[in-house]
Amino acid sequence: MAAVEFQNVGISFGTVPVVRGLSLSIQEGEFVVLVGPSGCGKSTILRSIAGLAAISSGEMRIGGKRMNDADPAARDIAMVFQSYALFPNMTVAGNLGFGLRIRGETRAEIDRKVAEVAAVVGLSDHLHKRPGALSGGQRQRVALARAILRRPRVFLFDEPLSNLDAEFRTAMRAEIVRFHRTQGASMVYVTHDQTEAMTMGDRIAVLSPLAAGHTANLMQYGTPDEVYHRPANLFVARFIGTPRMNFVVLPVEGGSASYGAQRLPLPAAAAHLANVVIGQRPEHLRLVPLGAASGLPGTVDHVENLGHEMILTLSTAIGPMVLRETRSGSAPSLGQAVQVTLDPAQVHLFDPVSEQRVD
Amino acid sequence: MTRARRETILSYAILILAGLLSLFPILWIIGISLKTQADAFAMPPRLIFEPIWDHYAKVWSDSTFIEGFLNSLFAAILGNLLAFAIGIPAAFALNQRRVPGRAAILAWLLLSYMLPEFLFIIPMYGLFQATGLYDTVFGLALVYQTFTLPFTIWMMRAFFADVPFALYEAARLEGAQSWQILFRVYLPMALAGIAATAILNTIRIWNELAIALGLTFDRAQTVTVAVAAYRGYASIDWGALSAAAITSILPMLIFAVLAQRQIVGGLSLGAVK
How far is residue A289 CA from its own chain's centroid?
Answer: 38
B175 touches A: beta carbon within 8 Å: yes
| Amino acid identity for residue A166 in this structure | A
CA distance A340 to A350: 21
| Vertex A206 angle, CA B165 and A320, to 5° | 120
Secondary structure (3-state) at B202: helix
Within an 8 Å CB–CB cutoff, is residue A99 touching chain B? yes
Q: For residues A281 and A241, is the Cβ–Cβ distance under 8 A? A: yes
Q: Are A285 and A323 in contact (CB under 8 A)?
A: yes
Count of beta carbons in the 10 Å neighbourhood of residue B205: 25
Q: How many other C-beta atoms are found inside a 10 Å radius of the C-beta of residue A76? A: 17
Does residue B270 register a pLDDT over 50? no
Does position B36 have pLDDT exceeding 60, yes or no?
yes
Q: Is the CB of residue B189 less than 8 Å away from at least one CB of chain A? A: yes
Q: Which residues contact A17 (CB under 8 A, 6 or more apart)?
A: A10, A11, A210
pLDDT class for A78, splitting at 50, 70, 90? very high
pTM recorded for the entire structure: 0.83
A165 CA: distance to closest CA in chain B (Å) = 22
pLDDT at residue B265 greater than cutoff 70: no
Amino acid at A328: S
pLDDT band at A169 (very low <50, low <70, confident <90, very high): confident
Contact B214, B208 (CB under 8 A): no
At residue B254, the pLDDT reads 87
CA-based nearest distance B268→chain A, Å: 23
pLDDT in the model for residue A332: 84
Show the CA angle centred on residue B225, arms to residues B223 and B226, nearest 5°: 60
pLDDT in tens, B120-134: 888 889 999 999 999
pLDDT of residue B273: 33
HEC letters along A296-350:
EEEEEEEEEECCCEEEEEEEECCEEEEEEEECCCCCCCCCCEEEEECCHHHCEEE
Among the listed residues B54, B62, B58, the one whose alpha carbon sits nearest the alpha carbon of residue B38? B54
d(CA A32, CA A42): 12
- Among A82, A86, A98, beta carbon nearest to B174: A98
pLDDT, residue A358, reads 93
Tell me the pLDDT tens digit for each residue of A9-57: 999 998 899 999 999 999 999 999 999 999 999 999 999 999 999 999 9
Q: What percent of chain A has pLDDT over 70?
A: 99
In terms of DSSP H, where are the helices of chain A? 42-50, 92-102, 107-121, 136-149, 166-183, 194-200, 224-229, 234-239, 268-271
Task: Give the one of B169, B176, B188 whose C-beta lies nearest to A102's C-beta.
Answer: B176
Is A85 in CB contact (< 8 Å) with chain B? yes
Residues B70, B73, B75, B78, CA torsion sign: negative
Residues whose CB falls within 8 Å of the CB of residue A358, separated by 6 or more in sequence, listed in order: A267, A269, A270, A273, A276, A349, A350, A351
Option in B173, B175, B185 nearest A87 (CB): B185
* Residue B272, pLDDT score: 38
Q: How confident is the model at residue A290 (pLDDT cuts 50, 70, 90)?
A: confident
Question: What distance in Å separates residue A80's CA from the closest CA in chain B?
Answer: 9
Single out the residue of A91, A103, A85, A87 nearest to residue A149, CA to CA. A103
Q: How many helices (H) and strands (E) does chain A have?
A: 9, 20
Residues of A in contact with B170 (CB under 8 A): 79, 81, 85-87, 146
Least confident of A155-159, A167-171, A241-245, B88-92: A167-171
Q: How far apart are CA B257 and CA B260, in angstroms?
A: 5
Average pLDDT, chain A: 92
pLDDT at B267: 61
Residues forming a β-bridge with A340? A287, A296
Give the residue among B89, B81, B60 at the shortest CA–CA distance from B223.
B60
Query: In this complex, which of B174, B188, B189 lies closest to A73 when CB atoms are compared?
Result: B174
pLDDT recorded at residue A306: 86
**A83–B175: do the CB atoms touch at under 8 Å?**
no
A72/chain B closest Cα distance in angstroms: 5
Length, in residues, of chain B: 273
Q: Are A77 and A62 in contact (CB under 8 A)?
A: yes
- On the question of pLDDT at B269 being above 70, the answer is no
Q: How many CB pairs under 8 A join A and B?
A: 57
Sign of CA dihedral A204, A208, A214, A217: positive
B185/A72 touch (CB, cutoff 8 Å), yes or no: no
pLDDT of residue A329: 61
Write down the pLDDT at residue B140. 92
Radius of gyration of chain A from its Cα atoms, rounded to whole angstroms: 25
Task: Using CA coordinates, name the residue in chain A closest to B187.
Answer: A89
Q: B185 phi and psi, to 5 degrees?
A: -115, -55
Q: Phi and psi at residue B117, in whole multiples of 5°? A: -60, -30
Half-sphere exposure of A319 (CA within 13 A, CB side): 9
Rounded to the nearest angstrom, the gap between the alpha carbon of residue B185 and the centroid of all alpha carbons in its chain is: 28
CA nearest neighbour of B114 among B79, B147, B82: B147
Asked if B103 and B172 count as a contact pair (C-beta separation under 8 A), the reply is: no
ipTM, two decimals, is 0.85
**Is the confidence at residue A324, as pLDDT, over 70?**
yes
- Minimal CA–CA distance to A11: which of A61, A63, A46, A62? A46
In whole angstroms, how far apart are CA A313 and each of A188, A287, A299, A336? 37, 12, 9, 11
State pLDDT tens for residues B2-33: 888 999 999 999 999 999 999 999 999 999 99
Bond into A243 cis (ω within 30): yes
Mean pLDDT of A162-190: 88
User: What does the pLDDT read at residue B23?
Assistant: 93
Higher pLDDT, B62 or A164: B62
Tell me which of B135 and A333 has the higher pLDDT: B135
Nearest to A99 by CA among A77, A121, A120: A77
A73 touches chain B (CB under 8 A): yes
Q: How far apart are CA A149 and CA A100, in angstroms?
A: 9
**The predicted structure's pLDDT at residue A25:** 96
Quick one: pLDDT at residue A292? 79
Q: Output the pLDDT for position B271.
A: 41
* Shortest distance, CA A359 to any CA of chain B (angstroms): 46
| Distance (Å, whole) CA A265 – CA B65 | 105
Amino acid at site B84: F
A89-99 b/e with 16+ CB inside 10 Å = b?
bbbbbbbbbbb
% of chain A beyond a pLDDT of 90: 72
Question: Is pLDDT at B258 greater than 90 in this prediction?
Answer: no
pLDDT digits (tens, 9 = 90+) for B59-96: 999 999 999 999 999 999 999 999 999 999 999 999 98
Closest-approach residue (CA) in chain B for A74? B175
